[in-house]
Amino acid sequence: MEETKQRWGLDPSGKWYWMPDVGGYRVYQVKSVLAARQTPYQKLEIMDIEGWGRCLFLDGDIQSAEVDEFIYHELLVHPGMLAHPAPRRVLICGTGEGKVVREILRYPSVSRVVAVDIDREVVELCQEYLGRTPLDDPRVELVFTDVARFLQDYRGEPFDVAIVDVTDDVVGPASTVHNLNFYQLLDQALASPGVVAVQGTSAFSGLRSAGFDHLYRLLCQVFPLVFPYAEYVPSFEDLWGFFVCLKGLPDLGPRGELPPGLKYYDAETHRRVFSLSKLLRNKLGIE
């Protein structure tokens, strides 16, 4: 047991999974391992976890849990989509399980989605084991490359909305994203009016290396208006941060109708998650 605590991953029995957390470890009871693979970029594990259902882990960090993934994905996508008056072209930076695509295609105005991910194996295995999402929709183009390189080379029609949903690390597959140059490139590929939504890592713990307050200050260097918000995600056991960045728009709106069928996000939830605590406002330097 003590040896297991020095690392993340399955213990020798295959019944417990250890994940580093603030001040120690979190432990999950494993019902079954569905997929475990070292891709060219990261270690992927998809497991059926007691109490959480099918879960995705990348390099030892939980990314998604069947029972509550809708909380994260609805909060990431819908505030930004509703801020735009007519989102037609959408860029996804980090396709992952494809749940962001699912949420974006709820909007009838969307005619084109470009979903970029560096790791083809992650996308394909998630489709196999975590449930099919509409990646085969004719409006969706899948691109497998580093999204920073994609933006460096992009010369097409500007995007109305971009969703940045990459992992938190600054040394792994997302190392080219958490920096000023990436967001300057993204701004160049963005129409005006335009919206960028960003997963903002843990709002409290400091364990997540990208840093909620660091990302906020970085985004403020590029976009005229940046709105931080946060919500507790049960499977993360953490208060999770998000950002909506606006270009050529005066406020968050909303400028459209909320799509039907959402499980979590509505107008009341919107008001609450954008009302940050004094502690978080102080952390971000917001009066």
pLDDT at position 174: 67
pLDDT in tens, 194-228: 999 999 999 986 554 468 999 999 999 999 999 99
Class of the CATH domain delimited by 69-284: alpha beta
Confidence class of residue 171 from pLDDT cuts 50, 70 and 90? low
pTM above 0.75, yes or no: yes
**50 in a labelled binding site:** no
**117 in a labelled binding site:** yes
**97 in a labelled binding site:** yes
CB 190 within 8 A of CB 247: yes
- Out of 165, 168, 213, 238, the active site residue is 165
pLDDT at position 6: 44
pLDDT in tens, 11-54: 888 899 988 776 678 899 999 999 999 999 999 999 999 999 99
**146 in a labelled binding site:** yes
At the fourth CATH level, which superfamily is domain 4-65?
A: Spermidine synthase, tetramerisation domain (2.30.140.10)
Domain spans in the chain, listed from the N-terminal domain onward: 4-65, 69-284
Indicate if 165 belongs to the active site: yes
Confidence class of residue 178 from pLDDT cuts 50, 70 and 90? confident
